Amino acid sequence: MQKKTNMYTPKILGLGNALVDIIINLDDDRLLEKLELPKGSMQLVDHDRAQQILDYFADSPQTLASGGSAANTINGIANFGGKTSFLGCVGADVYGDFFENDMLENEITPQLFRGTAGTGTAITLMSADSERTFATHLGSAIELSAKHLSPKVFEGYDLVHIEGYLVQNYDLIRTGMQLAKQAGCRVSLDLASYNIVEENVPFLTEMLENYVDILFANEEEARAFCGKSPEEALSFFAKHTAYAVVKLGKNGSLIQHKNQVEHIGTPKNIEVIDTNGAGDAYAAGFLFSVMSGMDLNTCGQMGAKLAGEVVQVVGPKLSPSKWDSIWKKI
């Protein structure tokens, strides 16, 4: 694939949970109730619980993909032509090798630490309406800590993108954002599942007020954060960040930079197959565009276009042939 060249190539580092997605399609959402997994949520589970869920679907088709929110976004930025790296922790196992090889194949510089536990997995249960429910066993991903960070990690990058699923490790997030700022990097934060936001509002508020330059949230996450409508939440976030994004699902997204507000629609005539990774893809298109110096509306359109491509395939990332097709449209 021939990637586009730009006057400036953004250099972006991702910080997040290194996970391998195990994607399973559901025939009946009542199975979620039986497994006590609220539809649309992300539940953290231990090794035994994860194995119990996998055993339940032992006879169901399963698809593997390297994932994790920040890793998915970095993959998209790399395929847009950005210079990228990803920092995380995997196990010394075949899943860890699988994850690292995927990074290298997509020209992403892996900064991977090998933990003592097995590589983390995200069991992704897909409902017929494309809603995703996650049962995530973090495994070695949770072993990533502030001790793995140093000023050198952030040298040479323009922006550090951090996923909200790390937010429960306060020391890691705070140290990462502080070191990023000291290195002259912008900081981007993509909020996680609404239930994680609800549990960590005071800490997230501290990070937003002191370090975050670009914030992504969907409607539920925005409401969990500040109890406001999408429009009100956008204004609230924009008081503290240079760029605020509230994603509205099929209704598009709202974005604000300074006093400029844009409502970005969704691409037309697409068949939604799997929404897994749509938000991560939106972030990839938006961040690449912002860091390349594009105007606000174009940034939103690029995010929406990439998200629109991802929802038409199974899994959170696109194949090389799909990327070739995207470049012909841009």
Q: Tell how strand 11-15 and strand 159-163 pair up.
A: parallel
Residue 275 lies in a domain: yes
Residue 320 or 179, more confident: 179
pLDDT of 106 over the 50 cut:
yes
Torsion from C-alpha of 256, 83, 120, 148, nearest 10 degrees? -100
Residue 7 has a pLDDT of 53
What are the CA-CA distances from residue 11 to residues 45, 86, 232, 288 (Å)? Answer: 34, 11, 32, 9
Count how many domains the chain has. Answer: 1
Residue 38 lies in a domain: yes
Residue 189 lies in a domain: yes
Q: Are 209 and 182 in contact (CB under 8 A)?
A: no
Residue 325 lies in a domain: no
* Helix ranges (DSSP H) in the chain: 30-34, 47-56, 69-80, 94-105, 151-154, 170-182, 194-199, 201-210, 219-226, 230-238, 278-291, 296-310, 320-329
Residue 128 has a pLDDT of 87
* Range with the poorest average pLDDT among 54-63, 200-209, 318-327: 318-327
Query: Average pLDDT in the 301-306 region?
Result: 94
CATH code of the domain covering residue 108:
3.40.1190.20
pLDDT of 89 over the 90 cut:
yes
Residue 4 or 253, more confident: 253
Report percent pLDDT > 70 for the chain: 96
Tokens of 219: 């409607």
How many C-beta atoms surround the C-beta of residue 269 within 10 A?
A: 5
pLDDT tier for residue 225 given thresholds of 50, 70 and 90 = very high
Residue with tokens 């690449």: 288
Residue 328 lies in a domain: no
Q: What are phi and psi of 81, to 5 degrees?
A: 115, 5
Q: Exposed (0-12), middle (13-18) or buried (19+): which is 260, by Cβ within 10 Å?
A: exposed
Residues 6+ apart with CB under 8 A from 168: 196, 199, 200
Residue 1 has a pLDDT of 39
Which domain range does residue 89 map to?
Answer: 11-318
Residue 329 lies in a domain: no
pLDDT of 6 over the 50 cut:
no
DSSP 8-state symbol, 268 = S
Residue 327 lies in a domain: no
Q: 8-23, pLDDT tens digit by residue?
A: 799 999 999 999 988 8
d(CA 153, CA 253): 33
Residue 277 lies in a domain: yes
What are the CA-CA distances from residue 31 to residues 124, 125, 129, 249 (Å)? Answer: 13, 10, 15, 24
How many C-beta atoms surround the C-beta of residue 131 within 10 A?
A: 15
Q: What are phi and psi of 150, to 5 degrees?
A: -155, 165
pLDDT tier for residue 65 given thresholds of 50, 70 and 90 = confident
Residue 45 has a pLDDT of 93
